[in-house]
Amino acid sequence: MKVHALTLAVLASLASTAASADTVDPLKKAFIDDAKVNVEFRLRFEDADVANLDQQNQTTFRTRLTYQTGDIYNLYAVTEIDDVRSSDNESLVGDYAYTQINQGYIGYKGPADTLAKFGRQRIILDNQRFVGGVGFRQNEQTYDAFSVKNTAIDGLTAYYAYIGTVNRIFSEDSGNDEHENETNLINISYSGLDFATITGYGYLIDNQDVAAFSTDTYGIRATGNVKLDAVKLSYEAEFAQQSEGGDNPINYSASYYKLGAGVNLDGFGLKAGYEVLGSDDGEAGFVTPLATLHAFNGWSDKFLFGGAGNWENGLVDAHVVVSGNVAGIKLMAKYHKFDSDFGDIDMGKEWGVAATYPFAKHYTVGVKYASYSGADAGYSFSNDTDKVWVTLAAKY
């Protein structure tokens, strides 16, 4: 198991301190009395049927153990270990057998409502469209980083992170499990308005291993809702501009925008959205290499493009989402129509349905299905694809 010196240092600190916990009351309180231990299990069966390829399926089982100390002099530590067992480590499905430190960091609760973290950590910003954890996969994406968040001003959240390594969802054997970075993330959000939450951000990604992932992105996002008796109306609007960063060899400029609106009545919702990841005249597209891509542009994951989330011709996604709750079962249905931003290419369509049922306090069972078809032939994403997932999770 490959372990960074940073996470080894965290574990060594925990072990040496815990050894004296019985004789030093503040340490005993932090490392034993106030400590939190959580255990999670997730069993999943996934089947992928891709036209012109052999049908593949995989069963995986993840165990996650999380330990967090109590505070001592405003410091605390978190260690989280994941273990995944797999029925087929050569499957194209995408989850792999591994054991590793998913999180291992020191936190500091500073003055003026400031929280700082140093080490391997989860980073999730806004709706994860640009920076996320890919939590759907068994191997989560985490970051070796320094981050600081301040909430001293009512309604205002200011966040900064410097990322040294992106720990990706791929196996160590793939050679794509880690990307060294010199990345800076800035995200400032204000929720003090009655009608909107406004967020401005600058994501300066400098990927040392994949130059094409190095980008400078600046954007603004607004979300809000209005309640009219039993009806709740919601909206989102976002715009961002991206250009090359770091050692990216392509000189380009591309835009991103999304518009969406929804209505919710007694737990049943309908949303419509239009999202464009633009293209610079077919030379390069607006990419999102740190995003939780599975949550966007269809569950079949046809447009991952090696983790970039876009290609040189851009992607236009017009979609509708219907959701509801029947007898405690959370239901969702989605439809997407995909086209290129440049070149008038039909990139296909997808529909999907999902049902999730939490029961007996600790358990959740879920079923999800996606069917993709209809793309212009000859492209990497053109094969019709059907995928199904059955998941059983437990948290203690």
pLDDT in the model for residue 15? 52
**What sign for the dihedral angle of Cα 141, 176, 204, 213?**
negative
Domains in the chain: ranges and CATH: 5-395 (2.40.160.10)
pLDDT in the model for residue 184? 98
Phi, psi of 286 (to 5 degrees): -75, 115
Tell me the three state secondary structure of residue 9.
Answer: helix
CB 369 within 8 A of CB 354: yes
Using a 10 angstrom Cβ sphere, with 0-12 exposed, 13-18 middle and 19 or more buried, the burial of residue 93 is buried
pLDDT in the model for residue 3? 46
CB 134 within 8 A of CB 169: yes
pLDDT in the model for residue 8? 53
Q: What is the pTM of this model?
A: 0.92
pLDDT digits (tens, 9 = 90+) for 208-238: 999 999 999 999 999 999 999 889 999 999 9
pLDDT in the model for residue 9? 53
- Which residues of the chain are modeled with pLDDT < 70? 1-24
pLDDT in the model for residue 175? 77
